[in-house]
A and B are shown apart, each in its own frame.
Chain A
Amino acid sequence: MRFDLNEDQRAIAQTVDDLLSRKFPLTAIRPVVDGEASADTVFEEFHAALASMGVFGLVVPEELGGAGLALLDAAVVAERLGYGAAPSPLLGPVLTALALVHAGAAEQQATWLPGIADGTVRAGYATVASGGDGDLAGVNAWVLTDGRPLDLILVSHPAGLSLVEGGAAGLTVEPLSGIDRTRPLVDVRFDGVAHDPLPGGAEQRDRIRDAGRVLLAADAFGGGSRCVDLAVAYAKIREQFGRPIGSFQAVKHQLADMDIAIEPAQGLYWYAAHAFDHVPDDSTEFAGLAKAHLTERYVEVARRLVEVYGGFGYTWECDAHIFLKRSAVDRVQLGTPRAIRAELAAATDW
């Protein structure tokens, strides 16, 4: 019995934390949030830093340039990226790599996985409502990006999973005014796009979505933890009536409730990630439970963080909105809590 991260996983988390705190603290991410011209540089530099650490290749087999690790390892990284409000969604590269590993043909794997692993291929994950038997036509999806053009799109469609290259004919990608500027949303439209189906796509499609839910749950845990830390730190230094506001019981209880909402739920996403690789019977249920529960808690604590800051919390200058907006996106991506719970309830043998 050891339900805990191992030494390697703790070391990976520490490496990502170090990168974020030393080179990309919130002040360094600000140009992205504020929409300044230097935002592109931040996106590029951050992408390069993650690539050189091997983050994009975590789940890629070693013989194809990756580390050959499991979803849990990637989720641990996603958690720390969430904590730092990192300008990069891990969703696209990790899900595309997992789809190739579990559903791809050898040739597709050889073509794409090395590039995903070293960061030269930027991948996104799109879910569309129809098509897949023939061309993808008249469908669209909102896709999270790392601020740069997509080279490859993993499309989840009713018939399975397919790959579409960034420059494909019939494909248009339009930027959207997303609330979360650290992970820019684009509207990807498919109008008669030829696609390259993954042979195991029909079977693996829902599993890949489950993996995505685990990553979002991990991001929510990381972001939620940051909200608790920021709120506690502020309550210790902000003084009113001659003493720190954190000495008032009303504030204390609010902070305690935030802490109770988030910290104990870390094991939910750990177990969901573990189940993805080792306990197939629990995989879908726990991915859904973790994503629904944790993203909801993230929204809850991000809202409370704004309250703890008071009027300052409602300003653009305060960092609270960065997490509030990320929480709102985590909540919606790959199914709202209510939709996921309805799905899980329908699949439950009561």
Chain B
Amino acid sequence: MDLTFGPEYEEFRKEVRDFLAKEWGRRSDPAPEDVRAFRRTATEAGYLYRSVPRRYGGSEQEADSLKAQVIRQEFDRVRAPWQVQGIGVEMVVPTLLERGEDWQKEKFVEATLLGDIVWCQGYSEPGAGSDLASLSTSAILDDGEWVINGQKIWTTQGHVADYMFALVRTEPDADTKWAGLSYLLLSMKQPGVDVRPLRQIDGGAEFNEVFLTDARTPADWIVGGRGEGWSVANSTLKHERAMVGSVGRSDALYKSIVRLAKKTEIDGRPALETPWVLEALMVLKGYLETQRYSGFLQLSRALADEPAGRLPLKNKVMNTDFGQRIALLALELIGDSAQLSPRPDTPGVRPGEEKWMAQFFGSLALSTAGGTANIQRNILAERGLGLPRETAGRAES
């Protein structure tokens, strides 16, 4: 067992620290242009967008999981801006790098890394959720353009996005439902695209329905070939699942619920002197440390070029289960105010504790986004444990 990073990496850590001290310091309320400039400098230094080639705006570093960890730890320590968050950087960029044409990479990748363009995902439809491949939005090539008709749903950021990456049916006569799909990019700023917000259970409206009525996109805005959409999309889903599989989020949640417990009183006594609160916190700690050491094992196997077996298939469910356990304890701690909305219903009307009510609702969003937790269990059972498929029709990906 060796849980140290070793002298070479501690030297590297020092280098990152020096960089941050010089370029970032401990700014608390940076202006957007400062953040933008810092990201550029940090990318030039080789700390951000490490897997993206320099010609597309990345820093093109050799893959090194330990360096990546050190950088993340040090950036988090001084709360320096991290890579632009969101579906564009986390899903579109890796997909384009893996499957896109050169001109597509040139046009979209750097602008996405800088946050200049925002993406939304056009996968789910009212009739195609977990059974995504049965989707019916169609695209027909007409005079050098795809003409797209159909409806997409649960479109996060659809109301602000510049572009959509979408799965659409271009080969209606294909042998299987998967072989009929293509992966298209399209502009959201055109008459054929109608975005209507969906009101969420937490009162917010970050996701939408998108109606596509003769929406158009150039013939070459396709990633991969015609009928290859399913495999292109699956490389993206893999990226998304990896994205939610780290312990950083759970660590932050645990710290934050301990802070809540510290300032809470129950029946006139500090919550941290209440046996059931302490028990609940230690139960959570057991799950948290389980995630941490499972992560260390997965990292070690990756470094040694050995398989980690079924562990990677479990990260997402463990992460979302943890978020829900935290949320339920938070509701116990905040007591009566757990009956109030996270945000005011109308101006001046008193809301509840925004952070924890948002966590309560948001933890449910996480267990449905990017494939429901139930689908994750199917995948673990079928691919990991080798159990027979329920229907003959499900595709491997």
Contacts and interface: CB of A to CB of B under 8 A. Distances in A.
Given A259-B384, A267-B294, A342-B278, A252 B314 contact: no
Contacts of B300: 1-4
A260 B304 contact: no
A256 to B, nearest CB: 4
Contact of B282 (A253, A263, A341): A341
Contacts of A342: 275, 278-279
A255 B279 contact: no
Interface string B308-350: 0111001001100100000000000000000000000000000
Interface in A226-265: 232, 235-236, 243-244, 246-249, 251-253, 255-257, 259-260, 263-265
B4 interface: yes
Contact of B279 (A72, A264, A270, A345): A345
Contacts of B66: 1
A4 B301 contact: yes
B238 interface: no
Interface in A299-350: 338, 341-342, 344-346, 350
Contact of B297 (A243, A247, A266): A266
Contact of A341 (B3, B278, B292, B390): B278
A246 B385 CA distance: 10
A289 B66 CA distance: 27
A230 B283 CA distance: 27
Interface string B283-316: 1011101111110110111011000011100100
Contacts of A338: 279
Interface residues of B, number: 54
B384 A345 contact: no
Contacts, number: 150
B380 interface: yes
B317 to A, nearest CB: 6
A263 B262 contact: no
Contacts of A255: 381, 385, 387
A244 B390 CA distance: 10
B377 A247 contact: no
Contacts of A243: 388
B6 interface: yes
A345 B390 contact: no
Contacts of B303: 1-2
Given A259-B380, A267-B296, A2 B1 contact: yes
B191 to A, nearest CB: 43
A253 B374 contact: yes
A274 B3 CA distance: 10
Interface in B250-299: 258, 261-262, 272, 275, 278-279, 281-283, 285-287, 289-294, 296-297, 299
B389 interface: yes
Given A257-B377, A350-B272, A289 B2 contact: no
A286 B289 contact: yes
B104 to A, nearest CB: 37
Interface string A89-104: 0000000000000000
A166 B211 CA distance: 82
B5 interface: yes
A248 B387 CA distance: 9
B377 A256 contact: yes
A271 B290 CA distance: 10
B243 to A, nearest CB: 18
B1 A274 contact: yes
Nearest to A350: B272
B282 A270 contact: no
B378 interface: yes
A216 interface: no
Nearest to A258: B385
Contacts of B301: 4
Contacts of A271: 1, 3, 289, 293
A318 B133 CA distance: 42
A268 interface: yes
B386 interface: yes
A350 B389 CA distance: 47
Contacts of B386: 232, 236
A293 B388 contact: no
B310 A235 contact: no
B385 A263 contact: no
B23 interface: no
A10 B56 CA distance: 44
A296 B301 CA distance: 27
Contacts of A253: 374, 377-378, 381
Interface string B367-397: 0000000101110111011111110000000
Nearest to B3: A3
Contacts of A264: 290-291, 293-294, 311, 314, 318
Interface string A135-160: 00000000000000000000000000
Contact of B389 (A1, A247, A286, A341): A247
Contacts of B285: 289
Nearest to A346: B278
B283 to A, nearest CB: 7
A248 B390 contact: yes
B286 A292 contact: yes
A150 to B, nearest CB: 33
Most buried by A among B6, B285, B291: B285
A158 to B, nearest CB: 24
A235 B381 CA distance: 11
Interface of B: 1-6, 66, 258, 261-262, 272, 275, 278-279, 281-283, 285-287, 289-294, 296-297, 299-301, 303-304, 309-311, 314, 317-318, 321, 374, 376-378, 380-382, 384-390
Task: Please name the 7 residue pairs, one residue from A and one from B, whose CB atoms are nearest each other, closest first.
Answer: A267-B293, A293-B286, A345-B278, A341-B282, A264-B294, A252-B381, A3-B296
25 contacts: A1-B3, A1-B303, A3-B3, A4-B301, A4-B304, A232-B385, A243-B388, A244-B388, A246-B381, A246-B387, A252-B382, A256-B380, A256-B384, A259-B385, A266-B297, A267-B297, A271-B293, A289-B286, A289-B289, A292-B282, A292-B286, A293-B287, A338-B279, A345-B278, A350-B272
Given A247-B389, A289-B282, 13 more contacts: A1-B6, A1-B66, A1-B296, A4-B297, A236-B386, A236-B388, A246-B381, A247-B388, A249-B378, A253-B377, A256-B376, A259-B380, A289-B286
